[in-house]
Structure 1
Amino acid sequence: MVFSKKRRLAYLASTALMVMSLATACADKKGGAAGALQVSGSTTVAPVAADAAQALKADGLDITVATQGGSAGGISQLASGQISIAMSSKPLADENKAAHPDTDFRPVQIGADAVGVIVTQQVADGGVKDLTAAQVRGLFEGKITNWSEVGGPDLEVFVYDKEPGRGTREVLDKYLYGEEKPPPPPESGNFAIVGGNLETRNKLKSTPGAVAPLSTSFIEGHDDLQAVTLGGIAPTPENIASGTYPMSRPLYFLTDGEPEGKAKKFIDYVLSAKGQALMTKHGYLTLEQIGK
């Protein structure tokens, strides 16, 4: 094929542009220099990530934090190359690795948290301060329909459960069912599926007889909501750090391969003293508190 000088220059320019675009896409996936650093996933981890992103703006870093699909959504987006860092409030599972064999998942723990069985103050004041695992199963399976059945007020139970794949939901399922598959949701007008932590908290506040699994940090400063003890064990920092509280969980960032550029700077910041102070600010435990 014979090109004129103009066409040849245009061809070379477009080819160079295409190569640069491909290089940029690769750099973006690893958190390189081009474009905003994309971080997405767990609504539990998001407040820490958002504060870290704000702090790093002073250094000229452009960072976007989103929460589409919770932990499972973040892991999926990371595997498809849509983001550079996934936020997860659950450990990476074998099924995640099997579903995305071409992704070199690299988890970095940034702290720890507790999932609470959260009830309204009306329920707590009515006598529900502690629940056994069997009672929690009965509530979430729709077998216990009135709080009076567990020593509480004569008030209908309304369950707000989390979407499958959410870290909070998986922590609850593991506590209730171990390695067994949980049953399907009950067919009840008093049962609904919710997404993120803020939505869950708002639903709890709007429903007098509500119960839901929720990060305990999200009810700090909200005196109208209470975390019940589970088998007499409270979600205190000491019990979370020791693993005595049965619904403790690690919090993670995940990358595809070793983090580089912006991604590394962002993760290093959260692991630093200033970044770990953000864990405390949002009610989570630091790596030092859990002996990591």
Structure 2
Amino acid sequence: MKKRTLLLPLIGLSLLMTGCAKWIDRGESVTAVGSSALQPLVETVAEAYQTENPGEFINVQGGGSGTGLSQVQSGAVDIGNSDLFAEEKKGIDAASLVDHKVAAVGITPIVNKGVGVSDISLENLKKIFLGEITNWKEVGGKDQEVVLLNRAAGSGTRGTFEKWVLDGETAKRAQEQDSSGMVRQIIADTPGAISYVAFSYVTDDVATLSIDGVEPTDENVTTNEWIIWSYQHMYTKGEPQALTKEFLDYILSDEVQESVVGELGYIPVSRMEVERDWEGNVIQ
């Protein structure tokens, strides 16, 4: 989202702050925290919702899926955004939370454009992140050291990647970043670098890798041919009420799902041809 600079007279600023306080007092403010993979979608939809509903405020923050789940469970925020099912996070009482799946998103390995590799086997990708392959020439690329970059431990994107690529093992200790946007920038600027991001973060300054000939596309996610994907969850503590319910209904509306969700690189839940449970089993 582009940053905007708004110059207000002192009196106007005072009125604006007073107005915000009144929204909070009336329960017309919602805070959603968590997954950075989901953040661009929630921010965009929040801005549209606020435009259509003056006087109602949706505050969106990142911090990772673990943060979102723990904060919504504690009651510190209204919505916890997560790439993972609540059942997958230790210390989270999933039974106390209500899951609202608002989209699905593919996750892809990304590399610096100079590595000389465009396709890799799942086995070799796993070996790279476990530190068993350390030079790109070992997988048909340039004679160049592999530079690993991971998301932080609480990241749902990392959790999904480790689940499906590393069979649940932990990636080799490496530099970590909280932000998917920063991961992409570092990969673009660092020779030999590799990491992973949601499809929605892929831009022309990095290259994606196909795996065993399967391309990281929305179509391949919908059929589960590309297995590295997750639902985008917006959890509430109990059934949502008031503005929280209104905002969730809005993001799940046909209009938003059919326009905004797809345009931002996510996949509407209605397009998924398969369904997975929290253990990864295909149930439809």
TM-score in terms of structure 2 length? 0.82
* Percent of paired sites with the same residue: 27
1:237, distance to aligned residue in structure 2 (A): 1.6
Inter-partner Cα distance in structure 2 for 1:171 and 1:232 = 20
Inter-partner Cα distance in structure 1 for 2:84 and 2:36 = 12
- Letter of the 1:107 counterpart: D
Alpha-carbon distance change, 150 to 80 in structure 1, aligned in 2, over 3 angstroms:
same
1:105 aligned residue:
97
8 Å CA contact 1:33, 1:261 repeated in 2: no
Deviation by residue 1:224-257 (Cα, 9 ceiling, x = unmatched): 3121111211121221001110202111110001
Inter-partner Cα distance in structure 2 for 1:184 and 1:233 = 22
Query: Does 1:213 find its partner at 2:235?
Result: no
Inter-partner Cα distance in structure 2 for 1:279 and 1:193 = 28
Q: How does 1:143-222 map to 2 (within 5 A)?
A: 143-178=132-167, 180=168, 182-183=169-170, 185-186=172-173, 191-219=174-202, 222=203
8 Å CA contact 1:33, 1:262 repeated in 2: no
Query: Does 1:281 find its partner at 2:242?
Result: no
1:290 aligned residue:
272
Inter-partner Cα distance in structure 2 for 1:94 and 1:228 = 27
The 10-residue stretch of structure 1 (133-142 or 45-54) with the greater mean CA deviation from structure 2:
133-142
1:101, distance to aligned residue in structure 2 (A): 4.0
1:267, distance to aligned residue in structure 2 (A): 0.5
1:238 aligned residue:
219
Q: For this pair of structures, how many residues does the alignment match? A: 250
Inter-partner Cα distance in structure 2 for 1:93 and 1:66 = 22
Local SS of the residue matching 1:107: strand
Alpha-carbon distance change, 94 to 212 in structure 1, aligned in 2, over 3 angstroms:
closer
Structure with the larger RCO, 1 or 2 (CA within 8 Å, 6+ apart): 1
Alpha-carbon distance change, 183 to 72 in structure 1, aligned in 2, over 3 angstroms:
closer
Local SS of the residue matching 1:205: helix
Q: Which runs of 5+ in 1 are unaligned?
A: 1-27
Local SS of the residue matching 2:149: strand
TM-score in terms of structure 1 length? 0.80
1:274, distance to aligned residue in structure 2 (A): 3.0
Local SS of the residue matching 1:106: strand
2:42 aligned residue:
49
8 Å CA contact 2:112, 2:207 repeated in 1: yes
RMSD of equivalent CA atoms: 2.2
Inter-partner Cα distance in structure 2 for 1:170 and 1:236 = 20
Local SS of the residue matching 1:224: coil
Q: How does 1:10-159 map to 2 (within 5 A)?
A: 33-34=26-27, 36-58=29-51, 59-60=53-54, 61-68=56-63, 70-93=64-87, 95-96=89-90, 99-101=91-93, 104-123=96-115, 126=116, 128-159=117-148
Deviation by residue 1:98-129 (Cα, 9 ceiling, x = unmatched): x2449720001111111101112212xx2x11
Local SS of the residue matching 2:41: helix
Query: Does 1:269 find its partner at 2:250?
Result: yes
- Name which one, 1 or 2, has greater alpha-carbon Rg: 1
Q: Which runs of 5+ in 2 are unaligned?
A: 1-23, 276-284
8 Å CA contact 1:71, 1:90 repeated in 2: yes
Inter-partner Cα distance in structure 1 for 2:123 and 2:251 = 38
